[in-house]
Every structure is written in C-alpha cells, then in structure tokens.
C-alpha cells in the first residue's frame, strides 16, 4: 500500500511540470504581439525561463520595431515579417506571463539572467483569440540593446 502511494505521488510530481509547459500549437502564430515593460518576477529554470512583465499604462509599439536588426541565425523564422505584423494585444492586462526558451538555449545565446526591474521587449504569441491567461510565448527577446531569437540556437 505504501509503495502504491509513493508511486502515485511520484507520478503526480513528474506530471505537474509538463502540465505547466505550453507547446507551440497552443499559440496563434499568425498574430505576433509585442510587449514591452518591466520584469517584476523572474524564474530562471527549466523547462524554460519565465518572467512576469508589467506593461506601462499606455503601451505602444516602438517606432523602430519594423527596422530592428535580428540575429542571422533566426532566418528559418521570418523575423522581419513578424516585426512588420506585430501588434499590441487587444486585452488590457497590465501583467503578462512570458515563456522564454529553455535555459540551455538562453545560455547559448549569451542571455544573462534577467533581474526584476529590467526593461524587456518581447515579440511572441498568445493563445488563439487571446483567451485564457495573459501568457506570451516569446519568439524574440529584446533586452540590453540586443535581440535574441528564442526558437533556434545560435550557429
């Protein structure tokens, strides 16, 4: 009986992280969103880094967004096309949960651990129809004057 309880508890513990992780198919990849704000909480862990981003009262797209240089290693993703189509979310949440890449990929890009209070820009995708929680799956991360492609690793 005790072995069965341990097995069930272990099984549940192993299932929980996978439940919290969202696959790409959950997100509307036809509608790129741009968020910019201040990181208020940061979880630098696997299966992927996460941050809570607090948006300003009146979010706006940066004037230079469509012209931003993107890493050449991300050519498999049409970054310039995504930047050209980027829009603000229609929902008015001030705080968004942002799912970044796995830590190994963030380290490969040389992304330093983001600290609370850091200004961050993110281009990514939310759930289809902006339904559910305010979650953004990051495609590109803009921090410290640099752009990082999060779906691929640098060459």
Residue pLDDT, tens place only, 93-106:
999 999 999 999 99
pLDDT, residue 14, reads 37
- Give the start-to-end residue ranges of the domains of the chain: 23-149
- For 18-62, the pLDDT digits (tens) are 334 445 557 788 899 999 999 999 999 989 999 999 999 999 999
* CA-based max dimension of the chain: 64
Amino acid 155: pLDDT: 66
pLDDT tens per residue across span 71-94: 988 878 899 999 999 999 999 999
Which contacts qualify for 57-60: CB closer than 8 Å, 24 or more apart? Answer: 57/94, 59/35, 59/88, 60/88
- What average pLDDT score do residues 5-12 get? 39
**Residue 13 confidence (pLDDT) above 90:** no
CATH 2.40.50.140 for domain 23-149, yes or no, is yes
């Amino acid at each position: 009986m005790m072995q069965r309880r341990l097995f069930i508890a272990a099984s549940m513990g192993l299932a929980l992280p996978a439940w919290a992780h969202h696959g790409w198919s959950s997100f509307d990849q036809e509608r790129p969103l741009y968020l910019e704000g201040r990181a208020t909480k940061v979880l630098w862990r696997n299966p992927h880094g996460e941050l809570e981003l607090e948006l300003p009262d009146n979010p706006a797209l940066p004037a230079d967004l469509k012209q931003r240089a993107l890493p050449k290693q991300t050519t498999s993703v049409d970054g310039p096309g995504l930047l050209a189509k980027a829009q603000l979310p229609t929902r008015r949440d001030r705080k968004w949960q942002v799912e970044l890449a796995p830590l190994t990929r963030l380290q490969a890009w040389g992304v330093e651990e983001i600290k609370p209070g850091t200004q961050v820009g993110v281009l990514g995708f939310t759930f289809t129809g902006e339904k559910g929680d305010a979650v953004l799956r990051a495609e590109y991360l803009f921090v410290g004057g640099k752009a990082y492609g999060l779906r691929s690793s640098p060459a």
